[in-house]
């Protein structure tokens, strides 16, 4: 879909990078709590970091089916923004399981996606992120003062240019507290994605609502740094 010249990763000092953190969320569906999620950012090497999202069902059908999911992104830094190096997704439940692995070969400018049926390949793009890393990348863009954000996102068969815009400021109450938050919406699709950020305090949303993928909502419960 895209054929772009390779752009070398710009050097970035440790001071420019977000500090490692762990954020915990309450997961709701139709207003009812069904689970919990833990998001963690940590360094795993000199130039490689890991951003993971572990969730599990704690109530209702999600708990009865033993539902859990794991998303792990290995990333590098391009300036002050993250770029995906690899992404692993796994969902397990009593009746089925799913898995997907994505690799980004930055030298060859190629993305490879394999969900167990053989790899699909397509060209990469500078600044590429995956769906797991996306909310974090949006938070960093907001922290840098952006209000109209376009990010290349690796999906199953192509790089998708996704567009997000700050549409206002709202009062938000979640288990972690009461905040004056920026409301960020995806504006290039009918699939509703709305997230509320307090970028001066957190690089991840305090609340996130996504329709069409289980109609789930995440609400921040806690945030800590080592």
**In the prediction, which pLDDT does 76 show?**
96
Scanning the structure block, which residue is given the tokens 């970091």? 49
- Please list the ranges in the chain whose pLDDT falls under 70: 1-16, 60-66, 93-95, 212-214
Q: What are the residues whose beta carbons fall under 8 Å from the beta carbon of 83, sequence distance 6 or more?
A: 9, 75, 76, 77, 104, 106, 126, 127, 128, 129
- Assess contact for 149 and 165: CB atoms under 8 A: yes
Q: What are the residues whose beta carbons fall under 8 Å from the beta carbon of 208, sequence distance 6 or more?
A: 135, 194, 195, 196, 217, 218
Rounded distance, CA 126 to CA 4, Å?
8
- What is the DSSP secondary structure assignment for residue 30, as one 8-state letter? T
**Which is nearest to 85 in space by CA: 9, 164, 16?**
9
Scanning the structure block, which residue is given the tokens 């409301």? 183
**In the prediction, which pLDDT does 65 show?**
54
**In the prediction, which pLDDT does 192 show?**
83
**In the prediction, which pLDDT does 128 show?**
98
**In the prediction, which pLDDT does 41 show?**
98
**What is the C-alpha end-to-end distance of the chain, expressed in Å?**
41
**In the prediction, which pLDDT does 147 show?**
97
Rounded distance, CA 63 to CA 213, Å?
18
Half-sphere exposure of 191 (CA within 13 A, CB side): 8
**In the prediction, which pLDDT does 107 show?**
96
């Amino acid at each position: 879909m895209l054929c772009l010249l390779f752009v070398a990763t710009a050097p970035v000092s440790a001071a420019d990078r977000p500090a490692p953190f762990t954020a915990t969320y309450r997961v709701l569906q139709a207003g009812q709590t069904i689970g919990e999620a833990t998001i963690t950012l940590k360094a795993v090497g000199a130039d490689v970091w890991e951003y993971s999202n572990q969730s599990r069902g704690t109530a209702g059908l999600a708990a009865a089916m033993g539902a859990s999911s794991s998303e792990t992104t290995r990333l590098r830094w391009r300036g002050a923004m993250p770029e995906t190096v690899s992404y692993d997704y796994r969902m397990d439940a009593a009746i089925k399981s799913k898995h997907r692995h994505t690799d980004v070969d930055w030298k060859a400018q190629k993305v490879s996606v394999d969900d167990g049926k053989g790899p699909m390949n397509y060209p990469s793009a500078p600044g590429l992120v995956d769906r797991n890393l996306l909310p974090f990348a949006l938070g960093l863009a907001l922290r840098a003062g952006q209000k109209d954000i376009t990010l290349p996102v690796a999906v199953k068969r192509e790089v998708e240019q996704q567009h997000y815009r700050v549409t206002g400021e709202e009062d938000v109450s979640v288990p972690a507290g009461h905040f004056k938050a920026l409301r960020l919406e995806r504006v290039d699709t009918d699939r509703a994605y709305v997230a509320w950020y307090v970028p001066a305090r957190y690089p991840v949303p305090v609340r996130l609502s996504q329709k069409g993928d289980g109609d789930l909502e995440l609400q921040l419960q806690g945030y800590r740094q080592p």
